[in-house]
Structure 1
């Protein structure tokens, strides 16, 4: 039988879950919502390319990398805040 979580552990997991859901919402928007409106986006040009093409060829990859960076920074801060960081 597992022991019940402390208030600090519940707060940590709640913040982790909110961060994960928020970043998944950004990922979903860039991947599926922008894809759904790709035809309409292609009517606009950006740097000489249709915007729908540019978002999927370049922009989405940059957003995916930014999601990873935000996740790593936010989780490191959460770990330090709750005393769960790696010890060396």
Structure 2
């Protein structure tokens, strides 16, 4: 595999990871916090309605977790394509 092909495959896989992780964040922040708020509000978490919790706290927590997931995925991807130093 040439360097150009390796770089193209690397970025294709990187973009796929980014799209998947952003879709997860969208589902948690927009869908759970806004679209499904009424259904989730029937469940309580720590004294607060779950829909409110997702809108106020949950999406931020998920975003931070997704950052660590992305770092882990990129470390594996770097090793796979030989870009780790």
TM-score normalised over the length of structure 2: 0.83
Structure 2 residue runs without a partner (length 5+):
none
Which of the pair is proportionally richer in helix? Answer: 2
Cα distance between partner residues in 2 of 1:21 and 1:33: 16
Structure 1 residue runs without a partner (length 5+):
none
Cα distance between partner residues in 2 of 1:61 and 1:21: 18
| Matching of residue 36 in structure 1 with residue 56 in structure 2 | no
2:15 to 2, 10, 17: 17
Secondary structure in 2 aligned to 1:6? helix
| Matched length | 82
Pairwise CA distance, 1:57: 2.6
Secondary structure in 1 aligned to 2:83? coil
For the aligned residue pairs, the C-alpha RMSD in angstroms reads 1.6
